[in-house]
Structure 1
Amino acid sequence: MKLSAELRAFEARIGHRFARPELLVRALTHGSVSSTTRADNQRLEFLGDRVLGLVMAEALLLDDKKATEGQLAPRFNALVRKEACAEVAREVDLGSVLKLGRSEMLSGGRRKQALLGDAMEAVIAAVYRDGGFEPAREMILRLWGRRIQSVEEDARDPKTALQEWAQARRLAPPKYVELGRSGPDHAPVFTIAARLDNGEEAEATAGSKRQAEQAAAKALLNRLESA
């Protein structure tokens, strides 16, 4: 298979030249455009998530040889979560080469955090299957490099941080309540409230329940910590 000039340029951005170009094509194929003869990237995404996790765990151990498991865990979560993968995807302009169905393209799929994060994990798996662990490891460390050095001990996702805030004050875990849903089926918008037993709550709206929950938790945590 011969890659287009656009995909060759993407190879240069991630720093890996594929011996099996079909792996890259599959990694960039979203389910909205797959068919019986055109596989999507979901299985590669599953594998890439595990490869990324192993590389990040090893990198964090080497970066701070005195850190405890309790210190390493939130750093690890910050580096492998979907938001971090999507940030890296944006830096290498993955969205411009993502293969999407018409409905996803019209709803801004090339900019969606979930799609970009999933595709970045799939690309990691494609590199792993194409060249083995070392090329995948080298690419991940190169693309995530500055994040590994700068990640903070308390870099945990907002839902986890809010739950820990509540537990420290002997409150029940936060509850997340869907207040509303709008937009078409292919591009829904959710409004979620994060609530605590003490009556505190905050709302947020996003293109997925997970993102809305994270945003609501962050808004509530910011309010509580600034009070």
Structure 2
Amino acid sequence: MLRPRKFKELETKLGHRFKNQDLLERALTHASVRGGKIARFDNERLEFIGDRVLGLAIAEILNEQYPDANEGELARRYNRLVRGEACAKVARAISLGSHLILSDSEADSGGRDKTTILADAAEALLGAVFIDGGFDKARAVVHNLWREQSELVPEVAVDAKSALQEWAQGQGLALPKYTVISRKGPDHAPRFTAEVVIAGREPARGEGASKRIAEQAAATVLLTREGVGGPLVDN
């Protein structure tokens, strides 16, 4: 049954006119209103799809914008653009919170401006656009709403531990775990050896005059071994 286009303003900001208005409404419906209904009446499944659509579209944007960037730099930029805070920023830019369908209790507790809810809804919208119009339409929405952020992500030097964590997340791996293996030398001039472990990768070790420096050194060894370049600083 056809309905009035009550989300016309939102569609204008997205740059996509939905053929299936029910799909758009589902993307805006938070799980708090589900009650006893099954999951297809809220946006969680659409969020699952939208997360994958966003990742592919962002990878494409970065590949176009930074043709000379290595994997490490691309991974750092990618992680900054697909994380929840970035998605919530996009959601706030299009006033998505005002369109959300929430339970009374969730709305009363400030749900329309909660970062997690906004980020999930932004991804659900992308999932809905993908189902409604295909990947080209969804990619166009990402280019429209995320491109400005992608251009503003600074090329910052990061310490080796942060770079390793971002790389591991980008590869879908477990987070790095650090262990101090040994401490040698006198108290005024100690020498530490640290080991970093990521499940599925060979451990790496590094040395330094403090635990922090040894851990940074171990992270650098692992990054180098995995062929991940980019500016690394020890701070």
| Alpha-carbon distance change, 83 to 66 in structure 1, aligned in 2, over 3 angstroms | same
What is the CA deviation profile of residues 128-175 of structure 1, one whole-angstrom value per residue up to 9, with x for unaligned ones?
A: 10000111101110111211122123498xx946969x97x97688xx
CA distance in 2, matches of 1:139, 1:155: 30
Partner of 1:74: 76
Counterpart of 1:102 (choices 101, 104, 114) is 104
5 Å-filtered alignment, 1:36-75, equals: 36=37, 39-75=41-77
Specify the alignment match of 2:113 in structure 1. 111
Match of 1:186 in 2: none
User: Which runs of 5 or more residues in structure 1 are unaligned?
Assistant: 174-196, 199-223
TM-fit CA distance, 1:9: 1.3
Q: Deviations over 1:45-98 (max 9, x none)?
A: 011000000000111111111111011000000010010000000000000010
Asked if the contact 1:98/1:110 (under 8 Å) is kept, the reply is yes
CA offsets 1:91-113 (integer angstroms, 9 cap, x no match): 00000010001111111000100
SS at match of 2:107: helix
Aligned counterpart in structure 1 of residue 88 of structure 2, from 81, 86, 89:
86
Q: Provide TM-score, normalisation by structure 2.
A: 0.66
Cα-Cα RMSD: 2.8
Query: How many angstroms apart in 2 are the aligned matches of 1:71 and 1:163?
Result: 13
Query: Residue 23 of structure 1 aligns with which residue?
Result: 23
Q: Does 1:128 align with 2:130?
A: yes
Q: Residue type matched to 2:155 in 1?
A: E
Looking at CA atoms only, which structure, 1 or 2, has the larger radius of gyration? 2
Letter in 2 for 1:107: S
Matched, 1:139 2:116: no
Structure 2: 5+ residue stretches without partners: 167-176, 179-191, 197-210, 213-233
Q: Is the 8 A contact 1:60 1:72 kept in 2?
A: yes
SS, match of residue 29 in structure 1: coil
Distance (whole Å) between structure 2 residues aligned to residue 151 and residue 19 of structure 1:
34
CA distance in 2, matches of 1:144, 1:64: 15
- Mapped to 1, the partners of 2:193 and 2:90 lie a distance apart of 37
- Aligned residue identity for 1:125: G
Name the amino acid aligned to 1:145.
Answer: R
CA 62–100 in structure 1, closer or farther in 2 if over 3 Å, else same: same
**Structure-2 change in CA distance of 1:170 and 1:24 (3 Å):** farther
The residue identity in structure 1 corresponding to 2:48 is F
Q: What percent identity do the matched residue pairs reach?
A: 49
Listed as ranges, the matches of 1:214-225 within 5 Å are none
> 2:88·2:118 contact (CA, 8 Å) conserved in 1?
yes
